[in-house]
Amino acid sequence: MKAKILFGLCLWSLAVTAPAITGPAIIPQPEKIAVKEGVFALTSNTEITCFGNCETEAQQLATALRPATGFKLPVSPIGSLVKNREITMLLKTNQLEKFGAEGYELNVTPKNIGITAATEAGLFYGGVTLRQLLPPEIFSSNKVTGVKWEIPCVEITDVPRFQWRGLMLDVSRHFFTKHEVEQLLDVMALHKLNTFHWHLTDDQGWRIEIKKYPKLTSAGAWRGGVGFGLATNSTTAYGPDGRYGGFYTQDDIREVVAYAATRHITIVPEIEMLGHSLAALAAYPEVGTGTGPFVVPLKGGVNPGIYSPAKAETFEFLQNVLTEVFELFPSKYIHIGGDEVPKGPWKNDEACQALMKREGLKNEEELQGWFIRRIEKIVNSHGKTLIGWSEILEGGLAQNAVVMDWIGGGREAASQGHDVVITPTSHCYFDYGQSRDTSAEPRSIASAMGRAIASPTT
């Protein structure tokens, strides 16, 4: 298998000093851009025409331009009615080698605009760039008056450098409503990010409905308070009994997946295992190893407990959970966590020690690798690919696994032929400090520890 180094984003840190930008401000900067003389004036007489199977993208562009301008731009699928000014979207499926799956060309003249791509995704991103070329008021959700809706004449060729352009949201520690998640997807699309890593389970909360195991949400989705040193009135995510939390029904998940798909965003769910599993064990302690009783904590580091690899019911439980997850997410990838596993419970468990002896495993790290490889067989049997954090390298990497490198190991995994998603803590974490003085920043893991964790000089 040929390894690819992919680029991930665990809430991107903007601590890098960027070069001065001249010309139109486009995020991310396109591969090639040439600024020409003149402007295209967007008016109520402008029409959007589309050639090829791209009416959906044309309608999306018209919908995106309407709130701020007030223009209800007509969309013609065959361009039969050309008015004074026109935006043309042209799908050239025979140009895949030139544009790839997401590239596009955007040409703006005083009389017309042309967006050309080999796929619908490329046309969508061309439309995003077109919006960025307009005055910033274009992103208003209400009609704006007194603005000249002019687009500078440019020639742009843009093919993304990275195949995986992702952002991770952890909804376990802090719950986000479905509407808030969809708002985040809108912002991702505006920045041409194509992968949403949805961290749905952790110690502090289980956020996805699993019909076979209802206690995962009735018990595992709630905790005694918001925790993390936050004021109780900093959130409204409380149930009728006053507990903090929430979860997404399977219908909610389907709606968000569909919403993301129209923005050419793939959702990769994360279902944590081995560690970070107290919410699951609080609901179903019989699949765990540890002293118990397991509770959903207000923060991490309490009631050490992890899944038991020595119990057949553990793998039955996880297979049933993953089967329902696979039915909800069409992504080829499933993230299973695998980080920061507290192995103490295994050291003190007779059944786990007997399993290690029986399987010829030298230590608990190899037991973790044995567990991950068993989970990978379940994942692969459904035609999916397993992703895990750096620590899945411990005890031997599963055969087809992808490593999400947050603390190292990416180079090692790639040298073994595995794909790698790069998410270094020093550059890719919003919840780390963005300056040397975190007192002026929103509360984060950095401010909680009283120091900046990410270096502002790198």
Report the DSSP pairing between strands 222-223 and 32-41.
unpaired
Q: How many CB atoms lie within 10 A of CB 95?
A: 18
- The one-letter code for the residue type at 358 is R
- Using CA atoms, how far apart are residues 294 and 216, in angstroms rounded to an integer? 13
The one catalytic residue in 55, 150, 340, 349 is 340
37 flagged as catalytic = no
Six-digit token string for 49: 């025409």
Closest CA to 284 of 358, 215, 338: 215
Sequence-ordered strand ranges (E) for 262-348: 266-273, 288-290, 305-307, 333-337
Q: Torsions phi, psi of 93, nearest 5?
A: -70, -15
One of 105, 120, 158, 202 is an active-site residue; which one? 202
Q: Please name the residue ranges forming H helices in 382-409.
A: none
- The enclosing H or E element of 157 equals strand 150-158
Q: Is 202 an annotated catalytic residue?
A: yes
Contacts of 364 (CB under 8 A, 6+ apart): 343, 346, 347, 356
Q: Are 181 and 24 in contact (CB under 8 A)?
A: no
Q: Where are the beta strands (DSSP E) in 190-294?
A: 195-199, 201-202, 205-206, 222-223, 244-245, 266-273, 288-290
* Calculated CA dihedral for residues 93, 99, 104, 110, nearest 10 degrees: -90
Annotated active-site residue 276? The verdict is yes
What does the block give as tokens for 299?
A: 């923060």
N- to C-terminal Cα separation, the chain: 33
Q: What crossing angle do the helices spanning 178-190 and 250-261 adopt, rounded to 10°? A: 20
Instruction: Tell me which of 174, 199, 264, 276 is the catalytic residue.
Output: 276
DSSP-derived secondary structure letter, 332:
S
Gap between the Cα atoms of 165 and 235, Å rounded: 30
Residues labelled as active-site residues: 202, 276, 340
